[in-house]
Amino acid sequence: MTTAFPSRVAIVTPWYPSTQRPFLGAFVKAMVEATAPGEAPTLVYHCDEWAGRYSAAEDAEITRAHHELLPRTLSPLPTVGGASRLHLPVPLPVGLSYAEIAERHSATLRAALGGRPIEAPVVHAHVGLPGGWAALRNARPDARVFVTEHATFLDAVLDQPAAREMYAELLRRCAGVLAVGRAVRDPLVAAFPEHADKVRFVPNPVSFAQTRDTPVTALRRWLFVGGLIPRKGVLRLLEAFASCRAEDPALTLTFVGEGPLQDQLVSRATALGVAEAVRFTGAVAPAEALRLMREHDLLVHPSQFETFGMTVVEAAAAGMPVLVTRCGGPEESLAGIEEAAGELVPVADDPESLAAGYRRLRDRFAAGMDLALARRELAARYGYEAVAEAHRRIWFPEHVGAGSAESGQEHGI
Amino acid sequence: MSEQRVFFLALGGNRARVVVEEAARLAAAGGRATVVVDDVAQWRGQRFAPGVRVVELARLQRAHLPVAAEQLVVHRAPRKALRMLGRGRLAPWSQRAARAYERRVASRVHRRVFLPVYERLWGDARYRLLHREAARRGPFDLLVVADPVSIPMATRLAADGRMFPNVAYGLDSVSPGSVAQPA
């Protein structure tokens, strides 16, 4: 069996869409799809976390057996953009610290590689801990290691002393950290001001390849895409929807995603008398989520915090307006085109400000909105070509003509 | 593609979605899916597609002679004796006595006497039961390891290369054409 997989660019990521979790890491897959065509061969090491509840003795036995079995299971398979993917499960007993989890990722990658380093001159990891750490510990000495940070839980990571130390070492030794927005860059620079020059903006790429068959004519079919969890503001959304539907019974709402709040949402929809207008699709593959965007009129994204808010840009790419909270990433990604793209509302607990935002947007939409302008501008910032070029400049600056490396700084490209 | 035989080892039961979906996909594509679970009670609420064969390891183990004998001698026979003694007015006493016996005697004997002896004499009984079951239904084209708890057992089973020539951590980790792939 071989454990050597040479590539020009190696991607190390804990997140990548899979059968078990079809949503997780859709942006990593998009990044691969955007960048891999110009950087063949690209190989994705998907360090897939498999959590479970088991004893310390079982954990030791599982780890030993896994490291023995893993090399026999490796088979690079085609993924998007002409890249290949290796699937490496990382068994994790519940309750480990961020530092321990990062070490598990590193050890799993080492076991997969048979103790040899990753055969690539550029190793690009997603998420500092655990992805960046695993990449750093397994890259060959002359490789340049980059990290894209998108973790919404970065503050919690930096609150743990051992994890903070590992992050400091990662920043010392890596070639650069790419933040998808200020919500990520600011806490990093605040924690490690000495490495501020290493942290730059590069957003997640979004595909603008497909257009909708018929343009939006009225904002009646609402859509939410994401986890049904408190941070996403889904309960507030349901209340706001019920309030607006009292004025227009033709309104519908589709929740795409799953999570612990689903049962509560179902019973609340019944209590509010809107159950027949609310649909739950469960988790769907990213391509299906994009198709649903092209079949709805309005994306509502009432999150309390987002590092980037990829869904918002995807909605604009699908030709639909957005009603979104100022929760970090979205106000950056829509900077300068807020009016053309939709309506931004404050992060709040009350549903009425969200409902009021809808009414303003509905009235403006009836008077005419320039969704095409928003789409063009966002494609220039976050389209595959733009983001792939940004990565190319960072990964292989020696191949880029003088003067182009610092262009597009305003939006990180 | 048709008649691909895949042995899913899902003893942990905590990654049910992927097991149920992949087994269904395989069955729909004309393959044969055998899913081994530890205890079917862990899978309540999950529905396997028609044609997917589910094997319960705990049930195989209950049929293992030493376990069956212990169940008979330590649990079932005393329970039955107490039931027979406790007819009529003695019924409440009999029920209390049966519960006390289970708690104070049977479960202690099981934990402190039977299990250590069983582990020492038939420590790898689960492996042998499972291997025998696989031999009865195999060989298989692929062994899929579905969760962390299954990994040690999978490593032992995979040592039999004739029974399991290929091992993977999921159907979407194997080459297209060899088994059913995601749509």
Domain count, chain A: 2
**Residue B2: predicted pLDDT:** 53
SS3 A188: helix
- A155 with A36, same domain: the answer is yes
Closest CA of chain A from B171, distance in Å: 9
Give the span between the Cα atoms of A48 and A28, in whole angstroms: 13
The answer on A246 and A284 residing in a single domain is yes
Domain membership of residue A401 (yes or no) is no
How much is the pLDDT for A404?
41
Is A68 part of a structural domain of the chain?
Answer: yes
- CATH number at A360 reads 3.40.50.2000
What pLDDT is attached to residue A262?
A: 97
| A286 CA: distance to closest CA in chain B (Å) | 13
Contacts of B145 in chain A (CB under 8 A): 69, 73
pLDDT at B146: 97
Name the token pair of A268.
Answer: 């609340």
Q: What are phi and psi of B105, to 5 degrees?
A: -115, -65
Q: Answer yes or no: is A404 within a domain.
A: no
Establish if A331 belongs to a structural domain. yes
The C-alpha of B18 sits at a distance from chain A's nearest C-alpha, in angstroms, of 5
Label the pairing between strands A221-225 and A298-301.
parallel
| A193 in the same domain as A66 | yes
Domain boundary among A146, A167, A201: A201
Please indicate, yes or no, whether residues A148 and A74 belong to a single structural domain of this protein.
yes
Residue pair B172/B146 in contact by the 8 Å Cβ criterion:
no
The whole-number pLDDT of residue A369 equals: 87
Residue A368: inside a domain, yes or no? yes
Residue of A nearest to B176 (CA): A77
Does the beta-carbon distance from A52 to B174 stay under 8 Å?
A: no
Of B12, B17, B168, which has the smallest distance from its Cβ to A20's Cβ? B17
Residue A213 lies in a domain: no
Q: Are residues A146 and A21 in the same domain?
A: yes
Q: For B152, which of A52, A65, A72 is closest by C-beta distance?
A: A65
Beta-carbon separation of A62 and B149 below 8 A: yes
- Supply the pLDDT for residue A409: 37
Distance from CA of B127 to the nearest CA of A (A): 14
CA distance A275 to A208: 34
Q: Are residues A160 and A262 in the same domain?
A: no
- CB contact under 8 Å between A72 and B167, yes or no, is yes
Residue B92, CA distances (Å) to A390, B88, B89, B106, B107 in order:
80, 9, 7, 20, 21
A235 and A186 inside one domain = no
Contact at CB, A58 and B167, closer than 8 angstroms = no
Separation in Å, CA of B137 to nearest CA in chain A:
23
Residue A174 covered by a domain: yes
Question: What is residue A401's predicted lDDT score, i.e. its pLDDT?
Answer: 56
Return d(Cα B64, Cα B133) in angstroms, integer.
13
Any CB–CB contact under 8 A between B38 and chain A?
no
Q: Do A62 and B172 make contact, defined as CB atoms within 8 angstroms? A: no
Note the pLDDT of residue A1: 59
Euclidean distance between CA atoms B2 and B28, whole angstroms? 10
CA angle, A275 then A276 then A277, to 5°? 90
Minimum CA–CA partner of B16 in chain A: A20
Residue A168 lies in a domain: yes
Structure tokens at A148: 């894209």
Domain of residue A154, residue span: 9-201
Q: Is A54–B175 a contact, with Cβ atoms under 8 angstroms apart?
A: no
Residue for token pair 């006595």: B97
Q: Do residues A111 and A192 both lie within one domain?
A: yes
User: pLDDT at position B176, please?
Assistant: 62
pTM of the model: 0.80
Is the ipTM here above 0.85?
no
| Mean pLDDT for back-to-back runs of 10 residues, chain A (413 residues) | 82 94 88 94 97 93 97 94 97 97 98 96 97 98 95 92 98 95 88 95 89 92 96 96 97 96 97 97 87 96 88 93 93 92 93 96 90 93 94 88 41 40
| DSSP one-letter code for B63 | T
pLDDT tens for chain B, residues 1 to 183: 458 999 999 999 999 999 999 999 999 999 999 999 998 988 988 999 999 999 999 888 888 888 888 888 988 899 888 888 877 888 888 888 888 988 888 888 877 888 778 777 877 888 989 999 999 998 999 999 999 999 999 999 999 889 999 999 999 888 765 555 544
Q: Are residues A123 and A187 in the same domain?
A: yes
